[in-house]
Amino acid sequence: MTQIKIPKLAPMLSVRNGAKAVDFCKSAFGARELFRIEAPDGAVVAQLAVGESEFWIADESPKHLNFSPESLSGATTRFVLVVEDPDAAFQKALKAGAKSVSPVQNHEYGWRQGRVVDPFGHHWEIGKPIS
């Protein structure tokens, strides 16, 4: 566990096959693993970070109201990933197994940004403000 600076907030993404999703986040986004609990059945709860931004990946558990995008056929939260080079980061995510939802382009709201969906159904907007 990293040092706790509070209050703080971190999303926990529900997925099917959490162990693979952790590997994906490392390959696609350069995420670091901070902590992991693994159950005998292989289900994981893992704490990751991109830069100083922490997030969690956990196997879904519908009886505990934790649903994967695959179970609900959609996602209720997307993730805004701000990077120095959106074009390179987008390509890296595709190479790791994500699929393009919309290519990297300049948007009228002042960001250069693209969107991918990962193999687990979560959506990531990769970009940065246009300076």
Kindly list the residues in this chain that would bind its own copies in the complex (CB under 8 A).
1, 4-14, 29-30, 37, 50-53, 55-56, 62, 65-69, 71-84, 89, 101, 109, 117, 121-123, 125, 128-129
Buried (b) or exposed (e) across 26-49, using 16+ Cβ within 10 A?
eebbebeeeeeeeeeeeebebbbb
Of residues 1 and 40, the one with the C-beta less far from its own copies? 1
Of residues 35 and 94, the one with the C-beta less far from its own copies? 35
Nearest to 124 by CA among 78, 69, 88, 76: 78
Nearest to 124 by CA among 28, 54, 32: 28
Q: Minimum Å distance from CB 37 to its own copies? A: 7
Q: Please give the Cα distance from 131 to 129 (Å, whole number).
A: 6
In the structure encoding, which two tokens stand for residue 51, read together?
A: 């830069």
Q: Minimum Å distance from CB 80 to its own copies? A: 5
Of residues 55 and 90, the one with the C-beta less far from its own copies? 55
Q: Minimum Å distance from CB 45 to its own copies? A: 8
